[in-house]
C-alpha cells in the first residue's frame, strides 16, 4: 500500500522529469504532489503526447489501486475531477482517443462524479 509520504518518491521514480520539481525533505502534502502530477499530465495533453499521457493515466490508476485512503481521495478529488477539463480542452477528433486511454476504474469514478454530484 502506498501512503501519502511515499507518493513523492513514487512520482519521482516513475516520472524522472518531475524529480527536480519535488522538493527534498518535505513529504506528505498530497495535494501539492498531485498538483505537480496533474500539471505534468495537462502539459502532455497540450503537447498531444498521447503516449506520455497514457502513462500518466496508468500511474494515477496505480496510485488509486495501491494507495491508502488519503492517496485514493486525492486521486479521485483532484486527478479524476480534472477529466472534465481534459475533455473540454481537447479537440473533438481527439476525445475518443483520450477516453480510450483512461483506465476503466478512473473513468467509472469520473462518470460517478459527473452523474451523481452534478459536475
Report residue 109 CA to chain centroid gap.
12
Report residue 28 CA to chain centroid gap.
17
Segments making up each domain of the chain, as ranges: 7-117
Predicted local confidence at residue 118, as pLDDT: 52
Is the pTM value of this prediction over 0.85? yes
Mean pLDDT per 10-residue interval, the chain, length 119 residues = 92 92 73 93 93 96 97 95 87 87 95 72
Amino acid at each position: 500500500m502506498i501512503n501519502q509520504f511515499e507518493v513523492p518518491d513514487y512520482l519521482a521514480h516513475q516520472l524522472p522529469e518531475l524529480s527536480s520539481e519535488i522538493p527534498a525533505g518535505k513529504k506528505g502534502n498530497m495535494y501539492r504532489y498531485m498538483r505537480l502530477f496533474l500539471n505534468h499530465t495537462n502539459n502532455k495533453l497540450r503537447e498531444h503526447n498521447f503516449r506520455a499521457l497514457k502513462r500518466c493515466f496508468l500511474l494515477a490508476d496505480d496510485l488509486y489501486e495501491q494507495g491508502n485512503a488519503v492517496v485514493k481521495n486525492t486521486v479521485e478529488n483532484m486527478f479524476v475531477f480534472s477529466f472534465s477539463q481534459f475533455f473540454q480542452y481537447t479537440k473533438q477528433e481527439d476525445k475518443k482517443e483520450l477516453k480510450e486511454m483512461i483506465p476503466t476504474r478512473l473513468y467509472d469514478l469520473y462518470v460517478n462524479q459527473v452523474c451523481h454530484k452534478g459536475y
